[in-house]
Amino acid sequence: MSNKKVLSALVRNHPGVLQRVSGLFYRRGYNIETISACATENPKFTRMTIVVITNDELEMSQIIRQLSKIQDIRRIAVMDSDKAIFSESMMVKFECPPECRTEFLNLTFRNHMNVLYIGDSTATVTMTGSPDDLDAVLDKFAAYRIVEMNRSGLSAMEASDRPFAEMDDAEFIN
């Protein structure tokens, strides 16, 4: 992730917040590789993980300053790869004729994948792991043509006992 920076943002769970965040990136010409959002343990808040492509530390600090101005954003952190856990999930539909099933299923088992569906000529599997792990597993399946694929986008969480956000307004950016 040399030119990729991972931002984690705690935002109010309101309609339009994702649009305001993505709109800021669009207006400023910043490149988003992935963005994912989901409710947190507190239904009042959503956590966004944004993967930004930039080599420029000045641009990165500008992105954080601009995001901090959005009223619904409560906290932003740049996730350091030494202090964070990264995960992504993917579903892949492979071409898998009946004569290849045993070999295919053995490969999925060895790579800790879950089989979701087996059709007449395809098999759909899912896996969760780091983006590098997912890419490595896809390489192992090179003999099988990918019919369809969906990746979730990156999720990140600080690797510590400390929660990302204490729900105390004094702790937040805004």
CA distance 44 to 14: 8
Query: pTM for the full model?
Result: 0.78
Q: Determine the pLDDT at residue 169.
A: 41
Q: Under a CB-based contact definition with an 8 Å cutoff, are residues 125 and 113 in contact?
A: yes
Which domains does the chain show, CATH number per domain? 4-83+159-171 (3.30.70.260), 86-151 (3.30.70.1150)
**How far, in whole angstroms, is CA 3 from its chain's centroid?**
16
CA distance 134 to 130: 6
Q: What percent of the chain has pLDDT over 90?
A: 66
Both tokens assigned to 37: 């959002």
Poorest-confidence range of 12-21, 105-114, 119-128? 12-21
Question: Mean pLDDT across the stretch 27-40?
Answer: 90
pLDDT in tens, 78-120: 888 788 899 999 999 999 999 999 999 999 999 999 999 999 9
Q: Determine the pLDDT at residue 162.
A: 72
Q: Determine the pLDDT at residue 82.
A: 81
Q: Are strands 84-95 and 155-158 parallel, antiparallel or unpaired?
A: antiparallel
CA distances from 119 to 97, 99, 103, 130 (A): 9, 13, 16, 28
Q: Determine the pLDDT at residue 171.
A: 39
